[in-house]
Structure 1
Amino acid sequence: MTPFATVYHNPRCNTSRTVLKTIEDTGVTVRVVKYLETPPTEDELRTLLADAGLEPRQAIRTRESIYKELGLAGADADTLIAAMVRHPILIERPIVVTEKGTVLARPADAVQAVL
């Protein structure tokens, strides 16, 4: 069976592009999810974060203007998840899923852990 990876990808993000190229260069079959166009459901996001061993606060983009607009600095985990589902730009990227595990590939070389 050919190795397979799913990448939750933002083509405008340099790190995300670098990670995608790294994966493609290994010959792994890649499924690209442009999560800004097709955001994960709440359950999918919770599963991704749990599988990566991340709390929502570790996977939210605090520098996005919507983060401040929504007053998320003191928000609990459920509120952060709901905000990320409604505003997927808040989801840190790229998230990579392979048979070896799930990782938030930030920095880009963190993807090596699941290749």
Structure 2
Amino acid sequence: MITIYHNNRCRKSREGLQILEESGKEFKVVKYLEDTPSEEKLKEIIELLGIKPLELVRKNEAIWKENFKDKELSDSEIISALAKFPKLIERPIVINGKKAVVGRPPENISTII
């Protein structure tokens, strides 16, 4: 089952959702601002993406700039921040089995569906 971690207020996330809808494949939508992934789930997602936790952070968000920007944070501290402030999570994230991508640009999604 394909899963999209989605924020309907984000244009890129809506474009990613449209790609999935047009694919005709079954998928599940997780509105991650309402149904925030746990730290454990975020670790799994980051591992599937094959990135460092910092690469999943939206560094232009005010929450990041005001609270974390100039701090030396460990990977686990970054993951904790993402779990506490889900608005910091880059979006959309699409997972298909053992493959995952951040849908920026949205065309990235086509590589795993």
**TM-score of the alignment, normalized to the shorter chain, above 0.5:** yes
- Please state whether the residue corresponding to 1:92 is helix, strand or coil: coil
Identical positions, percent: 37
- Please state whether the residue corresponding to 2:83 is helix, strand or coil: helix
Q: How far apart, in 1, do the equivalents of 2:102 and 2:3 lie?
A: 12
Q: How far apart, in 1, do the equivalents of 2:80 and 2:98 lie?
A: 28
**Alpha-carbon deviations, 1:78-105, whole Å to 9, x = none?**
1111100000000000110113611111
Q: List structure 1 segments (4+ residues) > 3 angstroms apart after TM superposition.
A: none
In the alignment, is the contact (CA less than 8 A) between 1:7 and 1:94 conserved in 2? yes
In the alignment, is the contact (CA less than 8 A) between 1:62 and 1:90 conserved in 2? yes
- What displacement does 1:75 show? 2.0
Q: How far apart, in 2, do the equivalents of 1:101 and 1:71 lie?
A: 29
Q: How far apart, in 2, do the equivalents of 1:55 and 1:47 lie?
A: 12
Q: How far apart, in 2, do the equivalents of 1:71 and 1:111 lie?
A: 29
Match of 2:81 in 1: 83
Q: How far apart, in 1, do the equivalents of 2:43 and 2:69 lie?
A: 18
Q: How many residues align?
A: 112
Q: TM-score, normalization: structure 1?
A: 0.92
Structure 2 unaligned spans of 5+: none
Ranked by relative contact order (alpha carbons within 8 Å, sequence separation 6 or more), the top structure is 2
Structure 1 unaligned spans of 5+: none
Q: How far apart, in 2, do the equivalents of 1:88 and 1:109 lie?
A: 23
- Please state whether the residue corresponding to 1:28 is helix, strand or coil: coil
In the alignment, is the contact (CA less than 8 A) between 2:56 and 2:89 conserved in 1? yes
In the alignment, is the contact (CA less than 8 A) between 1:104 and 1:110 conserved in 2? yes
